[in-house]
Structure 1
Amino acid sequence: MKDSYAPTPAVAAMAPRLVRVPGVRAVVLGGSRARGTHRPDSDWDLGVYYRGALDLAALTALASEVQGAPVQVAGPGGWGPWVNGGAWLTVDGVAVDWILRDLDRVESVRSDCREGRFEVGTQPGHPLGFWSPCYVGEVALGRVLQDPQGELTALQDAVRAYPEPLRRALVEAAWEADFLVASARKSAPSGDTLHVALCLSRAFGVLAQALHAHHRAWCLNEKGALASAAALPDTPAGFADAVSSALRGLDAPAVETAARVVRDVRAVLDRAAPPPAGPGRPDASVTEGVRSLRADGRGGHSDE
């Protein structure tokens, strides 16, 4: 593991202890720190992959011991149908998130993605919804810390290549952006800013997902998605600025700006997809582009 991605000693020490909890199969470093797009104050995200029954009492006891104070651990489903559960810890002044992932469900979603199927579920904390391919992207982009039986490592090797059926499905789903802008156009004259904001936000989120898929790059959630999409090679110039302008306006001119964004992006998507840049990962230019956008104050920050 590269030094720039290496967890602190306190965080690294958690992984071997976590896999000794009955039901836990693997621990993965995820989020921005795994992708190298983190800030100095970014949280440490540990994906805790389990299969079958999980010993929640043992997990809670470990969390409390590690933190040195009581910790409430949310069991499977405690944080909603998709994020699942976990715990928020503070260790040596550093925020560490344990995020539960059901390995059986991850494998099921992976099978769906290979067939070009995905779903978007309602999930607290995810205003655009939770896009099921995130489960697979987390595995592809994560850094395995502990995997005694090799299950997660084998799955990671299997998902290195972005599934072509999923790429096509997410690109084709961009049609919704046109529909959403048309809906916003009807509401803007009456000043219905809530409806306009919701329509445009979702339209741009759908486009961000489609642009990532077009480039065979994983988009894990809304945080940082605009900056990440803007950094992709085929994304139209000025994409992030135009999106930001439309979301600040939320009036009739803003809707027309959004319409131009949709038209320009869909023109890109209608072209053949670029050749793969790597094993299901953005290439170095994408990562550097995201960093540049953040340095300019235009990018977001993703830790989940």
Structure 2
Amino acid sequence: MQPIDEHVEAMAARLADVPGVVGVMLGGSRARGEHRPESDWDLGVYYRGEPDLAALRALAGPDVEVAGPGGWGPWVNGGAWLRVDGVAVDWILRDLDRVERVWEDCRAGRYEVGVQAGHPLGFWSPCYAGEVALGRVLADPGGELGALRSQTARYPEPLRDALTGGAWEAEFLVGVAAKGAARGDTLYVALCLSRAVGVLVQALYARDRRWCLNEKGALAVADRLPGAPAEFGARVGRMLGAAGQSPEALSSTVERARELVGEVMAVLRG
């Protein structure tokens, strides 16, 4: 396990002392051991009620803007971007009550996809539970984050069923993309096919009982998962990299997408 930078560890402890803050988790590539030397340190700052923004701003320093709950949108919520010894450290606010509600939804096979800046395929609510499952507790005075992390260690079967079952949307999207292709509507076709791929990626992750946290790098991982069609990532790359502009070119792209979707659906339904 990667040692924690002493400055980051001290910062996590100070964050946990802020009124309203329950604890701090390390997330992102550094928590998973997949980081590069220049990778950010992502600190999930879990709170209940309203965190003391004045205390957070005092801790961040005078030149750092701290966005309160809702300041960054409905799902990513808020936080701050700092630099510590030349390395980026991100604070990401997380409402623990909401995270726990989402976890209950996951256990019941429910999820939602919300609009959120920075998430072009939408913010998939199971990300909240996945962040806890894959994160590393840095500060947890009351033991609440550790307890929740233990619960999320086992991927819920109802969520697996819901996400794999939800892959029907990819078939629907390919169908409506064909109509856009006939009109030469490149934007509409590209959006439909991009979302169709995103839905398939979520389903493949769920089939493997793996948490998908966001779109970044997700296709490369999905390409290696059991059940992914041969050359899944490469085929998606060719399809989305040159969808075309004429009705003929776009229709050809849609047919390739239809074939790919069919292969994934056969695995999911088998």
TM-score by length of 2: 0.95
The equivalent residue for 1:180 is: 173
CA distance in 1, matches of 2:212, 2:87: 26
CA distance in 1, matches of 2:228, 2:38: 29
The equivalent residue for 1:38 is: 35
Residue 93 (structure 1) aligned to one of 86, 95, 104: 86
Deviation at 1:52, TM superposition (A): 1.5
Residue 189 (structure 1) aligned to one of 174, 182, 201: 182
Could you say what secondary structure the match of 2:189 adopts? helix
Higher relative contact order (CA 8 A, sep 6+): 1
Is 1:57 matched with 2:54? Answer: yes
Q: Percent identity?
A: 67
Could you say what secondary structure the match of 1:195 adopts? helix
The equivalent residue for 1:247 is: 240
Look up the equivalent residue of 1:211 and give its one-letter code.
L
Paired residues in the alignment total 264
* Equivalent pair of 1:173/1:210 in contact (CA under 8 Å): yes
CA distance in 2, matches of 1:238, 1:12: 41
Deviation at 1:36, TM superposition (A): 1.8
CA distance in 2, matches of 1:57, 1:196: 47
Look up the equivalent residue of 1:32 and give its one-letter code.
S
Look up the equivalent residue of 1:199 and give its one-letter code.
C
CA distance in 1, matches of 2:34, 2:252: 34
Deviation at 1:203, TM superposition (A): 0.2
Deviation at 1:191, TM superposition (A): 2.1
Q: Which runs of 5+ in 1 are unaligned?
A: 272-304
1:1-304 superposed matches below 5 A: 2-3=1-2, 6-64=3-61, 69-250=62-243, 251-271=250-270
Look up the equivalent residue of 2:85 and give its one-letter code.
D
Deviation at 1:190, TM superposition (A): 2.8
* Equivalent pair of 1:245/1:254 in contact (CA under 8 Å): no
* 1:134-163 deviations in Å (ceiling 9; x for gaps): 000000000001101100000111111101
User: Which segments of structure 1 move beyond 3 Å, counting only runs of 4 or more?
Assistant: none
CA distance in 1, matches of 2:222, 2:37: 23
Could you say what secondary structure the match of 1:99 adopts? strand
Deviates more, 1:224-233 or 1:193-202: 224-233
CA distance in 1, matches of 2:175, 2:69: 39
* 1:167-206 deviations in Å (ceiling 9; x for gaps): 0000010000011011111112332110011000000000
Deviation at 1:234, TM superposition (A): 2.3
The equivalent residue for 2:246 is: none
Could you say what secondary structure the match of 2:214 adopts? coil
Deviation at 1:165, TM superposition (A): 0.5
Deviation at 1:233, TM superposition (A): 2.3
CA distance in 1, matches of 2:90, 2:4: 13
* 1:80-105 deviations in Å (ceiling 9; x for gaps): 01000000111111111000000000
TM-score by length of 1: 0.85
Could you say what secondary structure the match of 2:253 adopts? helix
* Equivalent pair of 1:25/1:148 in contact (CA under 8 Å): yes
* Equivalent pair of 1:47/1:100 in contact (CA under 8 Å): yes
CA distance in 2, matches of 1:131, 1:56: 27
Q: CA RMSD in A?
A: 1.0
* Equivalent pair of 1:200/1:258 in contact (CA under 8 Å): yes
CA distance in 2, matches of 1:145, 1:26: 8
